[in-house]
Amino acid sequence: MAKSIWDTRNKRQGPKPAKAYESNAEHLLQVAVGLPRPRELRAQRVEAEVRLYNKNDRRLPTIAELQTRHNFTEEAAASFLRSVQRKIRERERRTASVAPEKPMAFRSPPPAQQPTPPTTPESTPTPSPLVAGPSAALFAVLADIRRRFGDEIRTRGEQTVVKEGFVYLAVHPCFDGWVKAGMTIDYELRLASYNTSDPLSRFAFVSAKWVPDRRQAEKLLLEYLAGMAEEMRGEWARVSVVKALEALGRV
């Protein structure tokens, strides 16, 4: 049987290559990599609407405006508007929750045993040598240290090379008769780290003191406590609060 002209032509030319299809697929993949995903695109649009809301004196867009602006159906525009409202409420809650820092509450010794802080002839920005109980001056010093060394404290914590800082005395009701001495660059963060081991957050400072060289001051404080205490266990001393405050005052 004679071959048809069509069979002869197909045999001579062979099957058509799929190169054109493959090249188109590669192109589409390359383009798709640079395009945001639907969820990312929606988040970007929500952010844009929140910025526009703040720019337009906190006026929410209407559904008709969203339909025109983003080519949405009425149902999609209503759903998108709810997403914008949620984002605005989240921002407002976050802004309202940011409150100024307050001084850490200290546990003061009994009134009869409270040492009298030394008085200075004139008011100076230098912190008081001995601070017992809540102190706005001590917190002002802490705020200044955070302002000057905030990045250093966040990245290195207590391992910072900054010399100045605080020495402190801390107590815990489960260790009656014991006082812990130590040094820190940020006494609020230090107390918070202690209370991570106590679900009731019962660690409290008796007193704290700013010093130009916290490591040297801690060494002296521990030496003074060792001479007064009935027993020493590392940084813990079995000693009365009054004697511990006396040791801190000598640093």
* Mean per-residue pLDDT of the chain: 76
The SS3 assignment for 182 reads strand
Whether pLDDT at 121 is above 50: no
Q: What is the pLDDT of residue 135?
A: 66
Write the secondary structure of 213-239 as one string of H (helix), E (strand) and C (coil): CHHHHHHHHHHHHHHHCCEEECCEEEC
CA distance linking residue 24 with residue 204, whole number of Å: 69
Parallel, antiparallel or unpaired: strands 204-211 and 236-238: unpaired
CA distance linking residue 77 with residue 73, whole number of Å: 6
Q: What is the pLDDT of residue 58?
A: 81
Whether pLDDT at 222 is above 60: yes
Whether pLDDT at 216 is above 90: yes
Contact status, residue 203 vs residue 189, Cβ threshold 8 Å: no
Q: What is the CA radius of gyration of the chain?
A: 35
H or E stretch covering 183: strand 178-184
Please name the amino acid found at residue 210. W
| Average pLDDT for 79-94 | 85
H or E stretch covering 48: helix 38-55
CA distance linking residue 232 with residue 238, whole number of Å: 6
Contact status, residue 179 vs residue 237, Cβ threshold 8 Å: yes
Say how many CA atoms lie within 13 Å of 116 toward its Cβ.
3
Whether pLDDT at 179 is above 70: yes
Whether pLDDT at 223 is above 90: yes
Parallel, antiparallel or unpaired: strands 165-171 and 204-211: antiparallel
Q: Percentage of residues in the chain with pLDDT exceeding 70?
A: 69
Whether pLDDT at 210 is above 60: yes
Please name the amino acid found at residue 40. E
Contact status, residue 203 vs residue 220, Cβ threshold 8 Å: no
Whether pLDDT at 168 is above 90: yes
pLDDT tens digits for range 146-157: 888 888 888 888
- Output 142 or 236, whichever has higher pLDDT: 236
Query: Where does the pLDDT of residue 59 fall: very low under 50, low under 70, confident under 90, or very high at 90 and above?
Result: confident
Number of residues assigned to the chain: 251
Q: What is the pLDDT of residue 144?
A: 86
Chain Cα centroid distance, residue 32: 37
Whether pLDDT at 98 is above 70: no
Whether pLDDT at 5 is above 90: no
Q: What is the pLDDT of residue 235?
A: 92
| Average pLDDT for 10-30 | 53
Contact status, residue 130 vs residue 207, Cβ threshold 8 Å: yes
End-to-end CA distance of the chain: 116
Q: What is the pLDDT of residue 113?
A: 47
- Helix orientation angle between 187-195 and 136-156, rounded to the nearest 10 degrees: 70
Please name the amino acid found at residue 72. F
Contacts of 73 (CB under 8 A, 6+ apart): 67
CA distance linking residue 125 with residue 214, whole number of Å: 19
